[in-house]
A = this chain, B = another copy of it.
Amino acid sequence: MNKSAVLPAVDQVMAELGERARRAARLLAQAPAERKNAALMAGAAALRRSGGKIAEANAADVAAGTAKGLTAALLDRLTLDDKRIEAMAKGLEEIAGLPDPVGQEMARWQRPNGLDIARVRVPIGVIGIIYESRPNVTADAGALCLKSGNAAILRGGSESFRSSKAILACLQEGLAEAGLPEDCIQMVPTSDRAAVGAMLKMSGVIDVIVPRGGRSLIERVIAESRIPLFQHLEGICHTYVDGAADLVMARKVLLNAKMRRTGVCGATETLLVDAKVAKTHLPVLVKDLLDAGCAVRGDAATQAVDSRVSPASEEDWSTEYLDAIISAKVVDGVEGAIDHIERFGSHHTESIITDDPSAAAAFFAGVDSAIVLHNASTQFADGGEFGMGAEIGISTGKLHARGPVGVEQLTSFKYVVRGSGQVRP
């Protein structure tokens, strides 16, 4: 039997999915906060209730992944235990507790002719999320889209397909209980990779794509997408220790920036040290890192301070290790640091450690990154730490959303103009 007679073509499947999403988005845009929150709370309850089913689906994914030879790191991301299921449920409840961005007046003013103009937040519409095999993203991303009034089309990694499906069922139970269309959160119903290609061409149906994953996924999405992206590129984050840095503070902040968690996008990947303090500060900073179990790859000056430092290659400067590895270099003051960051960085998060306010000001002005910090750890690059609640990622693009992408960043706005018969002269 011809396969295409059984399975409708991927493009057809995606077109129908898209049509349902648009219909749902139009209803959802006008749903009151209480109803969306009720759906999230009911979804959380369903996740807790369905722990057994989710675990079963996940066990099948993990078994298939093991047979396929997935790395231990990938299998760890894929695996759901009770704790992780509970964390997903809690995540939904936290998102339910956030203020509803939809309908907020961002600004309102009167014109001399009496027109009253308000800028009011509205949902974007339909958001496509493309991610790898972290099944918890299904819950987080679906919930953030729902809270911000957007219909979601989720496309997770094929290795987590069964787990994601079980999680989605809970979210959709929550939607149904709250009287919202289940199509508010949909999942691409096939693990066929061609579905991603089809999704990236659905302009006019999907308003924005959020890719979440490693470099190869992001690069594919950038190359193929006909839809605007909230790009979460790599976090090649820098900590620059200035000539006027307090060494005690620099040691504490740097160690945290690199080693608190090495796998997060806000982890520092490159240490830059001002030549002025290369003799005093650099050896101490490097020793701290090495003693904490961090491999150091340095330029000649850094290699000279400790025999355990290996040489950094040109590639190291633009590598996001996400591991206990750091590249280190001596630069010529703030300007040298800015030049290095602009050349090799990914416009994510960079910190300057200094007691000199003018050095901090120059760094703030010259570094074109989503987040610039003074005397604080790059690991603060996180929507929760910013007080913005849960986030769908850190955008390294400059349009619409930059930095943490929370529920506000998942909205657009319209101008609402109230008149009393005004005509334009």
Residues of chain A touching chain B, judged by Cβ–Cβ distance below 8 Å, are 26, 29-30, 109, 111, 115, 117, 122, 124-125, 203, 207-208, 222, 228, 246, 249, 252-253, 255-257, 260, 342, 360, 364-366, 368-377, 379-380, 385-387, 398-400, 402-403, 412-424
Contacts and interface: CB of A to CB of B under 8 A. Distances in A.
A86 B367 CA distance: 39
Nearest to A264: B424
Given A29-B368, A399-B208, A253 B124 contact: no
Most buried by B among A246, A249, A253, A373: A373
25 contacts: A26-B342, A26-B368, A29-B365, A115-B376, A117-B386, A117-B387, A124-B398, A124-B399, A370-B414, A371-B417, A372-B417, A373-B417, A375-B419, A375-B421, A376-B417, A376-B420, A376-B421, A377-B422, A377-B423, A377-B424, A380-B424, A399-B399, A400-B400, A402-B412, A402-B413
Nearest to A377: B423
Contacts of A29: 365, 368
A403 B423 contact: no
Contact of A376 (B125, B373, B377, B422): B422
A228 B399 CA distance: 8
A380 B256 contact: no
A228 B209 CA distance: 13
Contact of A260 (B26, B256, B403, B424): B424
Question: DSSP class of A's interface residues: helix, strand, loop or mixed?
Answer: mixed
Most buried by B among A207, A257, A374, A417: A417
A365 B31 CA distance: 10
